[in-house]
Protein backbone atom coordinates (compact mmCIF):
# COMPACT_ATOMS: atom_id res chain seq x y z
CA UNK A 1 0.00 0.00 0.00
CA UNK A 2 1.63 3.31 -1.08
CA UNK A 3 1.77 6.32 1.19
CA UNK A 4 -0.98 8.81 0.20
CA UNK A 5 1.61 11.40 -0.85
CA UNK A 6 2.89 8.96 -3.48
CA UNK A 7 -0.42 8.89 -5.36
CA UNK A 8 -1.01 10.71 -8.60
CA UNK A 9 -3.89 13.16 -9.02
CA UNK A 10 -6.04 10.49 -10.67
CA UNK A 11 -5.12 7.84 -8.08
CA UNK A 12 -5.84 10.24 -5.20
CA UNK A 13 -9.21 11.15 -6.68
CA UNK A 14 -10.26 7.58 -7.29
CA UNK A 15 -9.06 6.40 -3.87
CA UNK A 16 -11.11 9.12 -2.22
CA UNK A 17 -14.08 8.37 -4.46
CA UNK A 18 -13.88 4.68 -3.55
CA UNK A 19 -13.54 5.53 0.19
CA UNK A 20 -10.14 3.80 0.30
CA UNK A 21 -8.59 7.08 1.40
CA UNK A 22 -10.05 10.14 3.08
CA UNK A 23 -9.23 13.60 1.86
CA UNK A 24 -8.02 14.37 5.40
CA UNK A 25 -5.55 11.47 5.34
CA UNK A 26 -4.26 12.64 1.99
CA UNK A 27 -3.80 16.23 3.14
CA UNK A 28 -2.11 15.10 6.36
CA UNK A 29 0.26 12.89 4.38
CA UNK A 30 1.16 15.78 2.06
CA UNK A 31 1.57 18.26 4.92
CA UNK A 32 3.90 15.83 6.70
CA UNK A 33 5.84 15.47 3.49
CA UNK A 34 6.04 19.24 3.14
CA UNK A 35 7.14 19.61 6.76
CA UNK A 36 9.95 17.17 6.10
CA UNK A 37 11.16 18.52 2.75
CA UNK A 38 10.22 22.19 2.54
CA UNK A 39 13.14 23.45 4.67
CA UNK A 40 15.46 21.92 2.12
CA UNK A 41 13.53 22.50 -1.12
CA UNK A 42 11.79 25.88 -0.58
CA UNK A 43 8.94 25.21 -3.00
CA UNK A 44 6.13 27.00 -1.16
CA UNK A 45 5.40 30.65 -0.55
CA UNK A 46 1.98 30.31 1.13
CA UNK A 47 0.46 27.38 2.99
CA UNK A 48 -2.27 27.59 5.63
CA UNK A 49 -2.24 24.14 7.24
CA UNK A 50 -5.31 24.67 9.40
CA UNK A 51 -7.42 26.04 6.64
CA UNK A 52 -6.44 23.27 4.23
CA UNK A 53 -7.11 20.57 6.84
CA UNK A 54 -10.46 22.12 7.63
CA UNK A 55 -11.33 22.16 3.94
CA UNK A 56 -10.32 18.52 3.64
CA UNK A 57 -12.63 17.71 6.54
CA UNK A 58 -15.48 19.56 4.79
CA UNK A 59 -14.80 17.72 1.54
CA UNK A 60 -14.74 14.40 3.37
CA UNK A 61 -17.99 15.19 5.21
CA UNK A 62 -19.63 16.12 1.93
CA UNK A 63 -18.55 12.84 0.40
CA UNK A 64 -19.76 10.94 3.46
CA UNK A 65 -23.14 12.62 2.87
CA UNK A 66 -23.09 11.44 -0.72
CA UNK A 67 -22.07 14.78 -2.28
CA UNK A 68 -19.28 14.40 -4.81
CA UNK A 69 -18.41 17.77 -6.29
CA UNK A 70 -16.47 16.54 -9.29
CA UNK A 71 -13.54 14.53 -10.60
CA UNK A 72 -11.02 16.13 -8.20
CA UNK A 73 -13.12 15.82 -5.05
CA UNK A 74 -10.84 16.20 -2.05
CA UNK A 75 -7.57 16.33 -4.03
CA UNK A 76 -5.08 19.09 -3.08
CA UNK A 77 -3.55 21.07 -5.94
CA UNK A 78 -0.72 23.62 -5.76
CA UNK A 79 -0.93 27.05 -7.41
CA UNK A 80 2.00 29.02 -8.77
CA UNK A 81 1.90 32.32 -6.90
CA UNK A 82 0.55 34.25 -9.87
CA UNK A 83 -2.89 32.58 -9.79
CA UNK A 84 -5.59 34.50 -7.98
CA UNK A 85 -7.26 32.55 -5.21
CA UNK A 86 -9.81 34.85 -3.58
CA UNK A 87 -8.76 36.01 -0.12
CA UNK A 88 -5.26 34.49 -0.38
CA UNK A 89 -2.21 36.66 -1.17
CA UNK A 90 -0.93 36.59 -4.75
CA UNK A 91 2.53 38.07 -4.49
CA UNK A 92 4.11 36.85 -7.74
CA UNK A 93 7.10 36.51 -5.36
CA UNK A 94 7.69 40.23 -5.87
CA UNK A 95 8.02 43.28 -3.65
CA UNK A 96 5.52 45.06 -5.88
CA UNK A 97 2.67 42.60 -5.19
CA UNK A 98 3.76 41.83 -1.62
CA UNK A 99 0.48 43.05 -0.14
CA UNK A 100 -1.90 42.06 -2.94
CA UNK A 101 -4.86 39.90 -1.95
CA UNK A 102 -7.24 39.26 -4.87
CA UNK A 103 -10.96 39.20 -4.18
CA UNK A 104 -11.75 36.77 -6.98
CA UNK A 105 -10.58 33.42 -8.30
CA UNK A 106 -8.72 32.91 -11.54
CA UNK A 107 -11.05 31.05 -13.91
CA UNK A 108 -8.77 27.99 -13.66
CA UNK A 109 -8.86 28.15 -9.86
CA UNK A 110 -12.65 28.45 -9.88
CA UNK A 111 -12.85 25.41 -12.19
CA UNK A 112 -10.51 23.37 -9.98
CA UNK A 113 -12.65 24.27 -6.96
CA UNK A 114 -15.83 23.38 -8.82
CA UNK A 115 -14.30 19.98 -9.59
CA UNK A 116 -13.81 19.47 -5.84
CA UNK A 117 -10.09 20.21 -5.61
CA UNK A 118 -8.53 21.76 -2.51
CA UNK A 119 -6.16 24.68 -3.08
CA UNK A 120 -3.19 23.38 -1.09
CA UNK A 121 -1.12 26.56 -1.23
CA UNK A 122 0.97 28.88 -3.36
CA UNK A 123 4.20 27.65 -4.90
CA UNK A 124 7.28 29.74 -5.49
CA UNK A 125 7.59 31.51 -8.83
CA UNK A 126 10.52 33.50 -10.08
CA UNK A 127 9.68 37.20 -9.68
CA UNK A 128 6.64 37.89 -11.88
CA UNK A 129 7.21 34.57 -13.68
CA UNK A 130 10.32 35.99 -15.35
CA UNK A 131 14.03 35.18 -15.40
CA UNK A 132 15.53 36.00 -12.00
CA UNK A 133 16.16 32.67 -10.20
CA UNK A 134 13.96 31.83 -7.22
CA UNK A 135 15.04 30.30 -3.92
CA UNK A 136 13.64 26.87 -4.84
CA UNK A 137 16.05 23.91 -4.83
CA UNK A 138 16.23 21.09 -7.38
CA UNK A 139 15.46 17.89 -5.42
CA UNK A 140 17.82 15.87 -7.62
CA UNK A 141 20.85 17.97 -6.68
CA UNK A 142 20.83 21.30 -4.83
CA UNK A 143 23.62 22.90 -6.84
CA UNK A 144 21.73 22.40 -10.13
CA UNK A 145 18.97 24.78 -11.18
CA UNK A 146 15.37 23.60 -10.75
CA UNK A 147 14.43 25.69 -13.79
CA UNK A 148 11.91 28.47 -13.86
CA UNK A 149 9.66 30.26 -13.71
CA UNK A 150 7.30 27.57 -12.32
CA UNK A 151 10.10 26.27 -10.07
CA UNK A 152 8.00 25.79 -6.93
CA UNK A 153 5.25 23.89 -8.73
CA UNK A 154 7.77 21.62 -10.47
CA UNK A 155 9.74 20.87 -7.31
CA UNK A 156 6.62 20.35 -5.18
CA UNK A 157 5.33 17.77 -7.66
CA UNK A 158 8.71 16.12 -8.23
CA UNK A 159 9.31 15.76 -4.48
CA UNK A 160 5.74 14.49 -4.03
CA UNK A 161 4.61 17.37 -1.83
CA UNK A 162 1.55 17.48 -4.07
CA UNK A 163 0.48 15.47 -7.08
CA UNK A 164 -0.32 18.40 -9.37
CA UNK A 165 0.33 22.13 -9.50
CA UNK A 166 -0.47 24.93 -11.92
CA UNK A 167 2.32 26.78 -13.68
CA UNK A 168 2.49 29.11 -16.65
CA UNK A 169 4.64 29.38 -19.73
CA UNK A 170 5.55 32.53 -21.67
CA UNK A 171 8.73 31.04 -23.12
CA UNK A 172 9.63 27.77 -21.39
CA UNK A 173 8.42 28.07 -17.80
CA UNK A 174 6.41 24.84 -17.57
CA UNK A 175 8.18 22.38 -19.83
CA UNK A 176 11.72 23.31 -18.78
CA UNK A 177 11.22 22.88 -15.00
CA UNK A 178 9.27 19.70 -15.75
CA UNK A 179 12.26 18.28 -17.63
CA UNK A 180 14.74 19.53 -15.02
CA UNK A 181 12.80 17.81 -12.22
CA UNK A 182 11.96 14.50 -13.91
CA UNK A 183 8.21 15.06 -14.14
CA UNK A 184 5.52 15.81 -16.73
CA UNK A 185 4.86 19.40 -17.85
CA UNK A 186 1.95 20.23 -20.11
CA UNK A 187 0.78 23.38 -21.84
CA UNK A 188 -2.36 23.37 -23.99
CA UNK A 189 -2.83 25.26 -27.25
CA UNK A 190 -2.62 29.06 -26.83
CA UNK A 191 -6.15 30.12 -25.92
CA UNK A 192 -7.38 26.67 -24.91
CA UNK A 193 -7.48 27.41 -21.16
CA UNK A 194 -8.39 30.77 -19.63
CA UNK A 195 -5.71 33.06 -18.21
CA UNK A 196 -8.20 35.30 -16.45
CA UNK A 197 -6.94 35.99 -12.94
CA UNK A 198 -3.33 35.09 -13.64
CA UNK A 199 -0.70 37.83 -13.25
CA UNK A 200 0.49 38.39 -16.83
CA UNK A 201 3.94 38.46 -18.33
CA UNK A 202 3.10 38.91 -22.00
CA UNK A 203 -0.49 38.98 -23.20
CA UNK A 204 0.11 37.41 -26.59
CA UNK A 205 2.38 34.60 -25.29
CA UNK A 206 1.24 33.66 -21.78
CA UNK A 207 -0.17 30.16 -21.58
CA UNK A 208 -1.30 28.40 -18.43
CA UNK A 209 0.04 24.90 -17.92
CA UNK A 210 0.62 22.38 -15.18
CA UNK A 211 3.15 20.12 -13.58
CA UNK A 212 2.16 16.53 -12.82
CA UNK A 213 3.82 13.10 -12.63
CA UNK A 214 1.73 11.23 -15.22
CA UNK A 215 0.24 11.95 -18.61
CA UNK A 216 -3.11 10.78 -17.27
CA UNK A 217 -2.98 13.60 -14.71
CA UNK A 218 -2.17 16.11 -17.45
CA UNK A 219 -5.33 14.98 -19.26
CA UNK A 220 -7.45 15.02 -16.11
CA UNK A 221 -6.49 18.59 -15.25
CA UNK A 222 -7.13 19.70 -18.83
CA UNK A 223 -10.55 18.07 -18.70
CA UNK A 224 -11.38 20.09 -15.59
CA UNK A 225 -10.05 23.47 -16.78
CA UNK A 226 -10.75 23.50 -20.53
CA UNK A 227 -13.40 25.81 -21.92
CA UNK A 228 -14.15 29.23 -23.32
CA UNK A 229 -14.00 32.32 -21.09
CA UNK A 230 -15.10 35.75 -22.29
CA UNK A 231 -12.97 37.22 -19.48
CA UNK A 232 -9.81 36.17 -21.34
CA UNK A 233 -9.87 37.89 -24.72
CA UNK A 234 -7.60 35.28 -26.29
CA UNK A 235 -9.58 32.31 -24.97
CA UNK A 236 -10.76 30.08 -27.79
CA UNK A 237 -14.29 28.82 -28.19
CA UNK A 238 -13.11 25.68 -29.94
CA UNK A 239 -15.02 22.62 -28.72
CA UNK A 240 -13.13 20.06 -26.65
CA UNK A 241 -13.36 16.28 -26.70
CA UNK A 242 -13.12 13.96 -23.70
CA UNK A 243 -9.39 13.86 -23.04
CA UNK A 244 -9.52 10.93 -20.64
CA UNK A 245 -11.26 8.77 -23.21
CA UNK A 246 -8.53 9.74 -25.67
CA UNK A 247 -6.01 7.97 -23.40
CA UNK A 248 -7.82 4.65 -23.46
CA UNK A 249 -5.86 2.23 -25.61
CA UNK A 250 -3.53 4.79 -27.21
CA UNK A 251 -1.72 3.31 -30.15
CA UNK A 252 1.63 3.90 -31.79
CA UNK A 253 1.91 7.24 -33.56
CA UNK A 254 3.44 8.81 -36.60
CA UNK A 255 6.15 10.88 -34.95
CA UNK A 256 8.08 13.69 -36.63
CA UNK A 257 11.55 13.90 -35.10
CA UNK A 258 13.06 17.39 -35.24
CA UNK A 259 16.84 17.21 -35.21
CA UNK A 260 17.40 20.47 -37.13
CA UNK A 261 18.15 23.45 -34.82
CA UNK A 262 17.66 21.32 -31.71
CA UNK A 263 20.66 19.07 -32.36
CA UNK A 264 22.76 22.14 -33.23
CA UNK A 265 22.18 23.47 -29.72
CA UNK A 266 21.97 20.26 -27.62
CA UNK A 267 24.90 18.57 -25.93
CA UNK A 268 26.18 15.19 -27.16
CA UNK A 269 24.44 13.23 -24.43
CA UNK A 270 21.07 14.86 -25.15
CA UNK A 271 21.36 14.26 -28.88
CA UNK A 272 22.32 10.63 -28.35
CA UNK A 273 19.52 10.19 -25.85
CA UNK A 274 16.81 11.62 -28.11
CA UNK A 275 17.98 9.33 -30.91
CA UNK A 276 17.67 6.45 -28.44
CA UNK A 277 14.17 7.59 -27.45
CA UNK A 278 13.20 7.67 -31.12
CA UNK A 279 14.59 4.15 -31.57
CA UNK A 280 12.77 2.94 -28.49
CA UNK A 281 9.49 4.35 -29.76
CA UNK A 282 10.11 2.93 -33.20
CA UNK A 283 10.76 -0.43 -31.61
CA UNK A 284 7.46 -0.16 -29.77
CA UNK A 285 5.65 0.41 -33.04
CA UNK A 286 5.79 4.13 -33.81
CA UNK A 287 6.66 5.47 -37.23
CA UNK A 288 9.54 7.92 -36.91
CA UNK A 289 10.39 10.37 -39.68
CA UNK A 290 12.71 13.34 -39.48
CA UNK A 291 10.93 16.59 -40.38
CA UNK A 292 12.51 19.92 -41.36
CA UNK A 293 11.79 23.23 -39.67
CA UNK A 294 10.46 26.18 -41.69
CA UNK A 295 12.68 29.15 -42.56
CA UNK A 296 10.62 31.28 -40.18
CA UNK A 297 12.22 29.38 -37.28
CA UNK A 298 15.37 31.45 -37.82
CA UNK A 299 14.05 34.56 -36.08
CA UNK A 300 11.42 32.94 -33.85
CA UNK A 301 13.35 32.95 -30.60
CA UNK A 302 14.69 36.50 -30.88
CA UNK A 303 11.25 37.76 -31.91
CA UNK A 304 9.72 36.01 -28.91
CA UNK A 305 12.22 37.80 -26.65
CA UNK A 306 11.22 41.14 -28.20
CA UNK A 307 7.51 40.40 -27.81
CA UNK A 308 7.91 39.28 -24.20
CA UNK A 309 9.96 42.37 -23.29
CA UNK A 310 7.52 44.80 -24.93
CA UNK A 311 4.36 43.23 -23.56
CA UNK A 312 5.92 42.75 -20.14
CA UNK A 313 6.93 46.41 -20.20
CA UNK A 314 3.42 47.45 -21.27
CA UNK A 315 2.00 45.71 -18.19
CA UNK A 316 4.65 46.82 -15.69
CA UNK A 317 5.16 50.38 -16.95
CA UNK A 318 3.00 52.20 -14.34
CA UNK A 319 4.57 50.24 -11.45
CA UNK A 320 8.04 50.39 -12.93
CA UNK A 321 7.91 54.17 -13.24
CA UNK A 322 7.31 54.34 -9.48
CA UNK A 323 9.40 51.45 -8.16
CA UNK A 324 12.05 50.31 -10.66
CA UNK A 325 14.42 49.58 -7.75
CA UNK A 326 12.03 47.00 -6.35
CA UNK A 327 12.47 44.75 -9.40
CA UNK A 328 15.18 42.11 -9.60
CA UNK A 329 17.95 42.76 -12.15
CA UNK A 330 16.98 40.47 -15.05
CA UNK A 331 13.37 41.62 -15.04
CA UNK A 332 14.43 45.26 -14.57
CA UNK A 333 16.64 44.92 -17.64
CA UNK A 334 13.81 43.32 -19.62
CA UNK A 335 11.27 46.02 -18.77
CA UNK A 336 13.81 48.73 -19.61
CA UNK A 337 14.49 47.06 -22.93
CA UNK A 338 10.77 46.70 -23.66
CA UNK A 339 10.10 50.35 -22.87
CA UNK A 340 12.93 51.40 -25.19
CA UNK A 341 11.58 49.38 -28.13
CA UNK A 342 9.84 51.24 -30.94
CA UNK A 343 6.49 50.02 -32.16
CA UNK A 344 7.63 49.28 -35.73
CA UNK A 345 10.27 46.84 -34.44
CA UNK A 346 7.68 45.06 -32.31
CA UNK A 347 5.22 45.02 -35.24
CA UNK A 348 7.77 43.33 -37.49
CA UNK A 349 8.45 40.73 -34.78
CA UNK A 350 4.72 40.05 -34.49
CA UNK A 351 4.34 39.76 -38.25
CA UNK A 352 7.23 37.30 -38.51
CA UNK A 353 5.74 35.33 -35.61
CA UNK A 354 2.46 35.14 -37.53
CA UNK A 355 4.32 33.49 -40.42
CA UNK A 356 6.03 31.13 -37.95
CA UNK A 357 2.65 30.16 -36.48
CA UNK A 358 1.26 29.34 -39.92
CA UNK A 359 4.35 27.37 -40.89
CA UNK A 360 4.40 25.41 -37.64
CA UNK A 361 0.70 24.63 -37.84
CA UNK A 362 1.25 23.17 -41.31
CA UNK A 363 4.27 21.19 -40.10
CA UNK A 364 2.37 19.86 -37.09
CA UNK A 365 -0.37 18.48 -39.34
CA UNK A 366 2.05 16.31 -41.30
CA UNK A 367 2.39 13.86 -38.39
CA UNK A 368 0.54 12.88 -35.21
CA UNK A 369 3.11 14.52 -32.97
CA UNK A 370 6.49 16.19 -33.24
CA UNK A 371 9.39 15.06 -31.02
CA UNK A 372 12.34 17.10 -29.79
CA UNK A 373 14.56 17.26 -26.71
CA UNK A 374 12.93 19.34 -23.97
CA UNK A 375 16.17 21.14 -23.10
CA UNK A 376 19.64 21.45 -24.63
CA UNK A 377 21.22 19.78 -21.59
CA UNK A 378 20.16 18.37 -18.22
CA UNK A 379 19.84 21.09 -15.56
CA UNK A 380 23.27 22.64 -15.08
CA UNK A 381 25.16 23.31 -11.87
CA UNK A 382 24.52 27.03 -12.25
CA UNK A 383 22.12 28.85 -9.93
CA UNK A 384 22.62 32.27 -11.55
CA UNK A 385 19.89 31.55 -14.10
CA UNK A 386 16.93 29.21 -14.57
CA UNK A 387 18.33 27.40 -17.61
CA UNK A 388 18.00 27.70 -21.35
CA UNK A 389 14.49 28.27 -22.73
CA UNK A 390 15.61 27.89 -26.36
CA UNK A 391 13.91 24.52 -26.90
CA UNK A 392 10.60 25.22 -25.17
CA UNK A 393 10.11 28.76 -26.48
CA UNK A 394 9.15 27.93 -30.07
CA UNK A 395 6.08 25.95 -28.98
CA UNK A 396 4.84 28.81 -26.85
CA UNK A 397 5.51 31.30 -29.62
CA UNK A 398 3.54 29.34 -32.20
CA UNK A 399 0.88 28.31 -29.69
CA UNK A 400 0.97 24.57 -30.34
CA UNK A 401 0.12 22.25 -27.42
CA UNK A 402 3.22 20.60 -25.95
CA UNK A 403 4.16 18.15 -23.24
CA UNK A 404 7.50 17.23 -21.69
CA UNK A 405 7.82 13.72 -20.35
CA UNK A 406 10.83 12.48 -18.35
CA UNK A 407 12.89 9.99 -20.28
CA UNK A 408 16.21 9.16 -18.59
CA UNK A 409 18.69 10.06 -15.87
CA UNK A 410 21.70 11.71 -17.44
CA UNK A 411 25.31 10.98 -16.53
CA UNK A 412 25.22 13.95 -14.15
CA UNK A 413 22.44 12.20 -12.19
CA UNK A 414 19.93 14.83 -13.30
CA UNK A 415 16.87 14.02 -15.42
CA UNK A 416 16.37 14.59 -19.13
CA UNK A 417 13.05 14.84 -20.90
CA UNK A 418 11.63 14.85 -24.38
CA UNK A 419 8.93 17.11 -25.76
CA UNK A 420 5.98 16.03 -27.85
CA UNK A 421 4.11 18.72 -29.76
CA UNK A 422 0.85 18.52 -31.73
CA UNK A 423 -1.35 20.56 -34.04
CA UNK A 424 -3.53 23.38 -32.66
CA UNK A 425 -6.32 22.07 -30.43
CA UNK A 426 -5.12 18.48 -30.98
CA UNK A 427 -4.51 17.95 -27.24
CA UNK A 428 -6.35 14.63 -27.35
CA UNK A 429 -3.94 13.29 -29.97
CA UNK A 430 -0.97 14.76 -28.08
CA UNK A 431 -1.99 13.21 -24.77
CA UNK A 432 -2.68 9.82 -26.39
CA UNK A 433 0.76 9.81 -28.00
CA UNK A 434 2.37 11.00 -24.76
CA UNK A 435 0.63 8.31 -22.75
CA UNK A 436 1.80 5.66 -25.19
CA UNK A 437 5.36 7.07 -25.13
CA UNK A 438 5.32 7.26 -21.34
CA UNK A 439 4.58 3.55 -21.19
CA UNK A 440 7.27 2.78 -23.76
CA UNK A 441 9.93 4.86 -21.96
CA UNK A 442 8.88 3.66 -18.49
CA UNK A 443 10.74 6.35 -16.52
CA UNK A 444 10.49 5.39 -12.83
CA UNK A 445 13.25 7.35 -11.10
CA UNK A 446 12.58 9.53 -8.07
CA UNK A 447 14.66 12.40 -6.75
CA UNK A 448 16.97 11.39 -3.86
CA UNK A 449 15.19 13.33 -1.13
CA UNK A 450 14.10 10.42 1.10
Report the interface residues with a second copy, using CB under 8 A.
Answer: 203-204, 230, 233-235, 237, 310-311, 313-314, 317, 338-339, 341-348, 350-351, 354-355, 357-359, 361-362
Establish whether the linkage from the previous residue to 149 is cis, with ω within 30° of 0: yes
Question: Looking at beta carbons only, is 333 or 359 nearer to a second copy?
Answer: 359
As measured in angstroms, the least distance from the Cβ of 341 to a second copy is: 4
Beta bridge partners of 421: 370, 402
DSSP assignment letter at 198: B
Helix ranges (H only) for 69-174 are: 107-114, 151-158
As measured in angstroms, the least distance from the Cβ of 325 to a second copy is: 20
As measured in angstroms, the least distance from the Cβ of 378 to a second copy is: 36
Q: What CA–CA distance (Å, rounded) separates 165 from 44?
A: 11
Beta bridge partners of 437: none
Query: Please, which residues have CB within 8 angstroms of residue 421's CB and are 6 or more apart in sequence?
Result: 364, 369, 370, 371, 372, 395, 400, 401, 402, 403, 430
As measured in angstroms, the least distance from the Cβ of 170 to a second copy is: 14
Question: Looking at beta carbons only, is 284 or 362 nearer to a second copy?
Answer: 362
User: Cα Rg for the chain, rounded, in angstroms?
Assistant: 20
In total, the chain counts a number of residues equal to 450
Question: Looking at beta carbons only, is 93 or 226 nearer to a second copy?
Answer: 226
As measured in angstroms, the least distance from the Cβ of 196 to a second copy is: 11
Edge-to-edge strand order for the sheet containing 287-290?
44-46, 118-123, 76-80, 164-169, 207-212, 184-187, 402-409, 415-421, 369-373, 254-257, 287-290
CB 252 within 8 A of CB 285: yes
As measured in angstroms, the least distance from the Cβ of 301 to a second copy is: 18
Question: Looking at beta carbons only, is 1 or 344 nearer to a second copy?
Answer: 344
Q: What is the DSSP string of 254-265?
A: EEEE--TTHHHH
Phi and psi at 208, nearest 5°, equal -75, 150
CB 89 within 8 A of CB 48: no
Report the catalytic residues.
Answer: 80, 149, 173
Instruction: Tell me which residue of 445, 396, 385, 448 sits closest to 419, measured CA to CA.
Output: 396
Q: What CA–CA distance (Å, rounded) separates 424 from 158?
A: 28
CB 206 within 8 A of CB 195: yes
Q: What CA–CA distance (Å, rounded) separates 120 from 76?
A: 5
Query: Which contiguous run of DSSP H or E holds residue 352?
Result: helix 343-364
* Cα torsion through 18, 22, 26, 28, rounded to 10: -170
Question: Looking at beta carbons only, is 70 or 294 nearer to a second copy?
Answer: 294
Question: Looking at beta carbons only, is 291 or 314 nearer to a second copy?
Answer: 314
Question: Looking at beta carbons only, is 39 or 230 nearer to a second copy?
Answer: 230
Question: Looking at beta carbons only, is 106 or 124 nearer to a second copy?
Answer: 106
As measured in angstroms, the least distance from the Cβ of 258 to a second copy is: 19
Q: Could you list the beta-strand ranges (E) of 105-162.
A: 118-123
As measured in angstroms, the least distance from the Cβ of 230 to a second copy is: 6
Amino acid sequence: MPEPFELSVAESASSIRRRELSSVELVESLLNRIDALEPKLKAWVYLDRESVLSEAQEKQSALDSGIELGPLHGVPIGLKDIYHNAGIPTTACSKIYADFVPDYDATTVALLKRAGAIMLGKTVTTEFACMDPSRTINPWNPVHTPGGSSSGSAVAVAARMCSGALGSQTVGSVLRPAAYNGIVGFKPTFGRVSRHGVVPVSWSLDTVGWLVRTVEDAALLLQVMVGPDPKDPVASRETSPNYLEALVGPTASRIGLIRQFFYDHADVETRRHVDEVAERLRGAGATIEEVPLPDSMATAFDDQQTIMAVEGAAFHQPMFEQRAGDYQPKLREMIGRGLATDAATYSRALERRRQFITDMELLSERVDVLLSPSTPTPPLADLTNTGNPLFQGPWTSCGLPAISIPSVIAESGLPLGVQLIAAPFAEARLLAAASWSEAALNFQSLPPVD
